[in-house]
Amino acid sequence: MKLLFLGDIVGRSGRDAVEKFLPDLIKDQGLDFVIINGENAAAGFGITQKICKQFFDLGVDVITGGNHSWDQKEALAFISSEKRLLRPLNFPKGTPGLGANVYQTTAGKKVLVMNVMGRVFMDALDDPFAAVEAELARYNLGASVDVIVVDIHGEATSEKMGMGHFTDGRVSLVVGTHSHVPTADAQILPKGTAYQTDAGMCGDYNSVIGMQKEEPLRRFTRKISGGRFTPADGIGTMCGLIVETDNKSGLARHIEPVRLGGRLINTGQASENAD
């Protein structure tokens, strides 16, 4: 099975990049399942029902969230009925929506997607490791489900790496989101779980993690806020990774970073230039 995970979609620039590249990528790569992190999709803060529909129409199967899940207040209402939109599993009991769910591909394969949020340098939520462990007690990779994906939305690389090794051999993919910069450590861990510390963002990289540079620089240099953060609106790069899993075990056979468009060196570009 072949799945795509795209990192945080930041504002219109990120949405435009996904709209431009995703449909062809699904077709050219023969993708079976697409997951994106959409918590920054609406002007950089949260997501709306309209934007969710736009992503689903493009071929997205599941949208994960994070610390900005509730920035658009309408999400509190529609997330309860939209099972394809997840929020972190380790929010307190009673929080609207789902943090994990099983989805079925057109070929009948079952995919468990979990969305958790880290606690290091982040909000003090429930234990993400315990939350993942509880879900893994209910589902067995290669038996009750064919693929298991964990999106850990966190600041600390160590916490994300810890989640990778904590679940190694029990899930298909652990991928980090939130820091908006693609890491160069895409790998298959010793027991067969695909891993990347951060998928990167889909957005304009001529920015400060997707935001126009002036306001972040003002706050860094003067410690004075001059207004809201505003998403950068240049040409976006679509960042993520493709993972191919074994049809029997559900473990990873191949992991490949994806970078298309915008300012970053696109995947395959450097080697092509060398020729």
pLDDT in tens, 107-135: 999 999 999 999 999 988 999 999 999 99
- Token digits for 98? 């789902």
* pTM for the full predicted model: 0.94
Specify the pLDDT at position 273: 35
Specify the pLDDT at position 274: 35
Asked if 180 is an active-site residue, the reply is no
Specify the pLDDT at position 220: 93
Domain total in the chain: 1
Specify the pLDDT at position 91: 96
Specify the pLDDT at position 167: 98
Specify the pLDDT at position 15: 97
Which residues in the chain land under pLDDT 70?
270-275
Strands 2-6 and 194-196, sheet pairing: unpaired
Catalytic entry in 68, 153, 178, 180: 68
Instruction: Report the CATH number that the domain containing residue 94 is assigned in CATH.
Output: 3.60.21.10
Specify the pLDDT at position 228: 87
Going by C-alpha positions, the residue among 56, 192, 198 that lies closest to residue 47 is: 56
CA gap 194, 5 in Å, rounded: 12
Range of the domain at 48: 2-274
First to last CA, the chain: 32
DSSP annotation of 42 reads: T
